[in-house]
Amino acid sequence: MIPKISNLEEYKSVYNKSIKDPAGFWAEIADCFQWKKKGNQINSGNFNDVNHSWFEDSTLNITENCLDRHLDKRGEKTAIIWESNDPKEEGKHISYRELHAMVSQFANVLINKGVQKGDRVCIYMPMVPELAVAVLACARIGAIHSVVFGGFSARALADRIDDAECRVLLTADSTYRGKKEIRLKDISDDAMNLTDKIDNCITLKRTGNDINMKQGRDSWWHDEIDGVSTFNEALELNGEDPLFILYTSGSTGKPKGILHTTAGYMVYTAYSFKNVFQYEENDIYWCTADIGWITGHSYIVYGPLLCGATTLMFEGVPTFPDAGRFWDVVEKYKVNIFYTAPTAIRALQACDLGFVSSKDLSSLRVLGTVGEPINEEAWHWYNDHIGKKQCPIVDTWWQTETGGILISPLAGITPLKPSYATLPLPGVEPILVNNEGEIIEGNGVEGNLCIKNSWPSQTRTLYGDHERFIQTYFSTYPGYYFTGDGCKRDEDGYYRITGRVDDVINVSGHRIGTAEVENAIAEHEGVCETAVIGYPHDIKGQGIYAYVVCYEEVKNADELRKEILAKVIELIGPIAKPDKIQFVSGLPKTRSGKIMRRILRKLAEGEFDKLGDVSTLLDPSVVEKIKSGVI
């Protein structure tokens, strides 16, 4: 059994031990898993050579740990509860035994399609149990899954298929999120017109809506599984064999294929799941994220299943059919642990309290948040109205790259402070570094958040581009992993994440690179130049603000805005749509031609008196024009 820390003193002593002797600490945790062969090498490598690795001479299959291992004791226990977008459609309860059979069967389907160890499989599916089945089936045969969130466009999907060279695409006919239909197969068809990589596209029938099928390439999921054996011997994999790729945005260039490997990811996600949420055997656990993001990978699928938990998957959105949906689901399934994003909390906070007060939320024991800083007001609303001041809130800080939660309270153990992620988990050494790369010691300080040493679930590389991996994370402050976040450490040694210090913006907990949006806008033929920045947004945390310079005089601004939005939707997807587009005659630039984003941020915030010195700009008059709204 994975050990669970039970009080603050124990946390401190476990933490100290984990930092003094990481190999010894993680070796003990690793003993709680099922290995095919247990090696001696716990960790190796360092951040100077960027060659960190974990459990590299051990072999295992992660799905044996998620599924097979539980069959004796928990075979009939519910592994996945599924709740449809439509509250009238009956939900599903899938036991560990059933899930094991579904995964084994689909693993056989993939093998029949010629998928082998190391092959990449792209998954573009809605939040239905088959999505988890697809992910685990890949892991069972050593194929590398690359899940793409349903809010991405055909172009973005094709780019990801191309980058990872996927030959198989798994999708569904369509899905509903709220009232909106997302035609996943149509989008997949468009993507497959943009790339010739896909040989096999398997489509799950979810809504039954009309779709096109191309002979020889496309088939139905139900036809593929028909008559296929539900027995599959899990493949023996090395601890460092790749488990999945997940694309995420950075400050420059195209999205990066974050690569996670098998054993370290397994050990860390399970350990952090159990300890952060203080999971207990019969808890009903619900994380509202989508499996298209890292939160869904680590804390809907892998972490909970590794611990033998019941994990709830929800297809819909918090506001459909009304703003009480989350609380209906909590009441319906008697959810004990509830994990969501600040943006959802803020959106629901803005609605009538009647949506909450009419529901029985007494089953809740632990609340969590993830994805962006939570403002104090939202924290208190969550605490008062959802947790009724009885449920600890774990504000979990982590990233796609970290694989698992790195800084967070342990529920009911770590004393809380609103909007603080508080303390690091065992095995994690956060440091604050100033702009010169020196470590800032002591408390009551602020700096750039880095991590000093490797932890098991750390990204190993960017798929196909190790040099970019080194450049992005290990060159700003050599010898340390740089997170891209700013952070305060208060007098008590508690960490508070202040937000990104690079050109990444966090919109409703979704990470968006300003450069990507700029590239998309610049594809519009009328656009000469553009600069995109984040600005504070009441619900989304940050909104997207685009300053656009056109070649010609803007005659119909509304029309042009629509066209620009359509471009962004086409090239990236609806999630990257700018909230505001301002047409301007020029951008504030230094004499060397660098765009002064700091000034644009202040202008977007309306903080005209805090612009600082603009006299050194190439053309200071552009600032006055932007202020006055003159193009």
Report which of 137, 210, 205, 215 is spatially closest to residue 172, judged by C-alpha positions. Answer: 205
Give the binding range for ligand PRX (CB under 6 A) out of 56-64, 100-108, 224-232, 478-486.
Answer: 478-486
**Residues 233-262 as x/- pattern, contact with ligand PRX by CB under 6 A:** ---------------x--------------
Extract the runs of DSSP E, i.e. beta strands, from 231-358.
Answer: 237-238, 242-248, 256-261, 284-287, 310-314, 337-340
Scan for tokens 């993830």, then name that residue: 370
Instruction: Kindly tell me which of 239 and 342 has the beta carbon lying closer to ligand PRX.
Output: 342
Give the binding range for ligand PRX (CB under 6 A) out of 40-48, 180-188, 196-204, 391-399.
Answer: 391-399
Q: Is 416 left (phi over 0), alpha (psi -120 to 50) or beta?
A: beta
Instruction: Kindly tell me which of 61 and 399 has the beta carbon lying closer to ligand PRX.
Output: 399
DSSP 43: E
We find the least distance from the C-beta atom of residue 424 to ligand PRX, in angstroms, to be 13
Report which of 350, 406, 491, 382 is spatially closest to residue 15, judged by C-alpha positions. Answer: 406
We find the least distance from the C-beta atom of residue 547 to ligand PRX, in angstroms, to be 23
Q: How many residues bind ligand PRX (CB under 6 A)?
A: 21
Whole-angstrom Cα distance, residue 398 to residue 513?
Answer: 18
Instruction: Kindly tell me which of 142 and 303 has the beta carbon lying closer to ligand PRX.
Output: 303
Site for ligand PRX in 275-294 (CB under 6 A): 294
Scan for tokens 């008697």, then name that residue: 334
Alpha carbon distances (Å) from 516 to 519, 566, 594:
5, 15, 18
Contact call for residues 417 and 457 (beta carbons, < 8 A)? no
Give the binding range for ligand PRX (CB under 6 A) out of 176-184, 266-274, 439-447, 477-485.
Answer: 477-485
Instruction: Kindly tell me which of 489 and 511 has the beta carbon lying closer to ligand PRX.
Output: 511
Residue 329 lies near ligand PRX (rule: CB under 6 A): no
321 prior amide bond cis, ω within 30: yes
**Residues 453-472 as x/- pattern, contact with ligand PRX by CB under 6 A:** --------------------
Whole-angstrom Cα distance, residue 164 to residue 36?
Answer: 28
The binder of ligand PRX chosen from 484, 534, 573, 578 (CB under 6 A): 484
Instruction: Kindly tell me which of 124 and 398 has the beta carbon lying closer to ligand PRX.
Output: 398
Pairing status of strand 256-261 against strand 461-462:
antiparallel
Six-digit token pair at 355? 């949506």
Site for ligand PRX in 490-529 (CB under 6 A): 497, 500, 506, 511
Give the binding range for ligand PRX (CB under 6 A) out of 191-199, 275-283, 397-405, 545-553.
Answer: 397-405
Give residues with Cβ within 8 angstroms of 342, minimum separation 6: 369, 371, 372, 373, 374, 375, 378, 509, 541
We find the least distance from the C-beta atom of residue 374 to ligand PRX, in angstroms, to be 7
Instruction: Kindly tell me which of 445 and 631 has the beta carbon lying closer to ligand PRX.
Output: 445
We find the least distance from the C-beta atom of residue 287 to ligand PRX, in angstroms, to be 11
Give residues with Cβ within 8 angstroms of 329, minimum separation 6: 83, 286, 312, 314, 335
Q: Which residue is nearest to ligand PRX (CB)?
A: 400
Contact call for residues 614 and 569 (beta carbons, < 8 A)? no
The binder of ligand PRX chosen from 61, 399, 458, 459 (CB under 6 A): 399
The binder of ligand PRX chosen from 43, 104, 269, 400 (CB under 6 A): 400
The binder of ligand PRX chosen from 273, 277, 285, 398 (CB under 6 A): 398
Site for ligand PRX in 45-74 (CB under 6 A): none
Instruction: Kindly tell me which of 221 and 271 has the beta carbon lying closer to ligand PRX.
Output: 271
Q: How many CB atoms lie within 10 A of CB 479?
A: 12
Give the binding range for ligand PRX (CB under 6 A) out of 133-141, 427-435, 454-462, 479-487.
Answer: 479-487
We find the least distance from the C-beta atom of residue 403 to ligand PRX, in angstroms, to be 9
Whole-angstrom Cα distance, residue 482 to residue 447?
Answer: 11
We find the least distance from the C-beta atom of residue 506 to ligand PRX, in angstroms, to be 5
**Which 3 state secondary structure label does DSSP give 350?**
coil
Alpha carbon distances (Å) from 315 to 81, 208, 338:
11, 16, 16
DSSP 206: S
We find the least distance from the C-beta atom of residue 88 to ligand PRX, in angstroms, to be 32
We find the least distance from the C-beta atom of residue 322 to ligand PRX, in angstroms, to be 27
We find the least distance from the C-beta atom of residue 496 to ligand PRX, in angstroms, to be 8
Give the binding range for ligand PRX (CB under 6 A) out of 71-79, 112-120, 483-491, 552-560.
Answer: 483-491
**Residues 354-383 as x/- pattern, contact with ligand PRX by CB under 6 A:** ----------------xxxx----------
Instruction: Kindly tell me which of 296 and 426 has the beta carbon lying closer to ligand PRX.
Output: 296
Q: In this structure, which amino acid lies at residue 630?
A: V
Torsion angle in degrees (nearest 10) through CA of 518, 520, 524, 526? 0
HSE-CB of 380 using CA atoms within 13 angstroms:
3
Give the binding range for ligand PRX (CB under 6 A) out of 203-211, 274-282, 395-403, 455-463.
Answer: 395-403
Instruction: Kindly tell me which of 497 and 571 has the beta carbon lying closer to ligand PRX.
Output: 497
- CB neighbour burial string for 544-582, b if at least 16 within 10 angstroms, e if fewer: bbbbbbbeeebeeeeebbeebbebbbebbbebbbbeebb
Instruction: Kindly tell me which of 105 and 400 has the beta carbon lying closer to ligand PRX.
Output: 400
Site for ligand PRX in 412-451 (CB under 6 A): 421
Alpha carbon distances (Å) from 23 to 203, 316, 453:
44, 42, 12
**Where on the chain is the footprint of ligand PRX (CB under 6 A)?**
248, 294-295, 370-373, 395-400, 421, 483-485, 497, 500, 506, 511
